């Protein structure tokens, strides 16, 4: 249970550099390598049509412009991670999430960003967080726009006895061990106290300073309860499972993952 390689998804958005700085700081504290990854899918013409310019020349111009965009993204990554002595860069002209899925074989943790309404990311470079959570097969650290520091001294675990949550807790263990205090939150009718106490005892075996905090439903969503718990505890990280139901069902009917991603004000480490 260690994190020795962190990958951060980089793009040309307003908050990309802040996300890289956060990932770089975390990599520095954990003694991990930092890998920047960016991909851009150029908007190539779909048909030849009527043009006086040979189509090959048009495509090559588009390709070169895309490479220039990626080069600018690489420079931004290197500038934002300049204090780290172990960094790598990977990029390609392809679909961003597919590229991240392929390259994540070289990482223990992948850092992706939520986008502000005015983020300004090029369409061919944007990484959909939901797609990343479903497709990577690795823990994903989701960073809200503009957040550039993650101390993770105080952490909330949103507990539910599911495969996804158990994976998230295991994946987060190197970070949980370093935290000064961890609260395990279970929103239920009060009958599951023994369950959450069991989780706390398990965490203590891994040298995690955790306490149990069962909470009765208040009429808010579970995601709202977790956000409130983070504010009350002054935590800057929530650990939770992702998409216990299918993503399509959450899109139609709602769910904790969807609500967390829609309202996240602190970082969320999530596993599917």
Q: What is the CATH number of the domain that holds 244?
A: 3.40.50.620
pLDDT: which is higher, 125 or 58: 125
Question: Residue 75: its pLDDT value, please?
Answer: 97
Q: From residue 223, give the alpha-carbon distance in Å to each of 73, 98, 136.
A: 33, 28, 23
pLDDT of 49:
46
Tell whether 9 is covered by a domain: yes
Q: Tell me if 261 is assigned to some domain.
A: yes
Q: What is the pTM of this model?
A: 0.91
Same structural domain for residues 137 and 162?
no
In terms of domains, do 108 and 236 share one?
no
Q: Are residues 35 and 131 in the same domain?
A: yes
| Same structural domain, 108 and 194 | no
State residue 109's pLDDT score: 98
- Number of residues assigned to the chain: 272
Determine, yes or no, domain membership for 265. Answer: yes
pLDDT of residue 253: 35
As a whole number, mean pLDDT of residues 87-108 equals: 97
In a domain, 148, yes or no: no
Where residue 121 falls among pLDDT bands split at 50, 70, 90?
very high
What would the two tokens of residue 91 be? 């990029």
Rounded (5°) CA angle 157-102-174: 30
Reading the block at residue 3, the tokens are: 């994190």
What element of type H or E holds 211?
A: strand 210-215
85 with 190, same domain: the answer is no
> Of the residues 112, 143, 174, which one is the last residue of a structural domain?
143
Asked whether residue 88 falls in the same domain as residue 164, the answer is no
Query: Domain range holding 244?
Result: 154-270
Give the pLDDT band (50/70/90) at residue 43: confident
> Chain-wide mean pLDDT for the chain?
90
Residue 47 covered by a domain: yes
89, 124, 143 — which closes off a domain?
143
Domain assignment of residue 179, yes or no: yes
Q: State the average pLDDT over residues 229-245.
A: 91
Question: Is pLDDT at 247 greater than 90 in this prediction?
Answer: no
Asked if residue 149 is part of any domain, the answer here is no
Q: Are 250 and 133 in contact (CB under 8 A)?
A: no
pLDDT score of 188: 76
Answer yes or no: do 98 and 194 share one domain: no
Q: Is there a single domain that holds both residue 136 and residue 19?
A: yes
What is the structure's pLDDT at 50?
Answer: 45
pLDDT at 190 (0 to 100): 65
> Is a pLDDT exceeding 50 seen at residue 27?
yes
User: What is the pLDDT, as a whole number, of residue 246?
Assistant: 55
Strand order in the sheet with 140-143: 87-92, 33-39, 5-9, 109-113, 140-143, 267-271, 237-241, 154-158, 181-187, 210-215
pLDDT band per the 50, 70, 90 thresholds, residue 250: very low
Q: How confident is the model at residue 259 (pLDDT cuts 50, 70, 90)?
A: confident
| CA distance readout (Å), 222 to 4, 82, 240, 256 | 32, 39, 11, 6
Summarize the chain as % helix, strand, coil (round to 5). 45, 20, 35
Q: Are residues 138 and 160 in the same domain?
A: no
Domain final residue, candidates 143, 162, 181: 143
Residues 158 and 264 in one domain: yes
Whether 103 and 184 map to the same domain: the answer is no
Same domain, 166 and 266: yes
- Give domain status of residue 62, yes or no: yes
What is the tally of structural domains in the chain?
2
**What pLDDT shows up at residue 222?**
85
Instruction: Answer whether 125's CB lies under 8 Å from 156's CB.
Output: no
């Amino acid at each position: 249970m260690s994190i020795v390689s962190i990958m951060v998804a980089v793009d040309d958005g307003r908050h990309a550099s802040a996300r890289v700085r956060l990932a770089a700081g975390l990599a520095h504290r954990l003694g991990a390598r930092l890998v920047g990854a960016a991909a851009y899918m150029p908007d190539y013409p779909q048909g030849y049509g009527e043009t006086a310019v040979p189509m090959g020349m048009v495509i090559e111009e588009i390709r070169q412009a895309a490479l220039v965009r990626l080069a600018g993204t690489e420079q931004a990554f290197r500038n934002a991670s300049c204090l780290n002595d172990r960094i790598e860069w990977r990029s390609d002209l392809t679909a961003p999430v597919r590229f991240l899925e392929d390259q994540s074989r070289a990482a223990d943790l992948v850092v992706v960003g939520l986008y502000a309404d005015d983020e300004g990311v090029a369409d061919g470079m944007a990484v959909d967080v939901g797609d990343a959570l479903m497709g990577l097969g690795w823990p994903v650290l989701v960073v809200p726009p503009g957040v550039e520091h993650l101390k993770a001294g105080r952490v909330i675990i949103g507990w539910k006895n599911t495969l996804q949550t158990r994976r998230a807790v295991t994946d987060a263990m190197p970070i949980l061990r370093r935290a000064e205090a961890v609260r395990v939150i279970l929103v239920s009718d009060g009958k599951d106290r023994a369950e959450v106490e069991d989780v706390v005892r398990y965490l203590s075996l891994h040298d995690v300073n955790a306490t149990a905090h069962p909470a009765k439903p208040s009429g808010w969503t579970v995601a709202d309860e977790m956000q409130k718990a983070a504010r009350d505890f002054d935590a800057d990280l929530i650990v939770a499972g992702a998409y216990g139901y299918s993503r399509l069902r959450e899109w139609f009917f709602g769910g904790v993952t969807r609500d967390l991603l829609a309202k996240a004000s602190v970082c969320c480490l999530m596993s599917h």
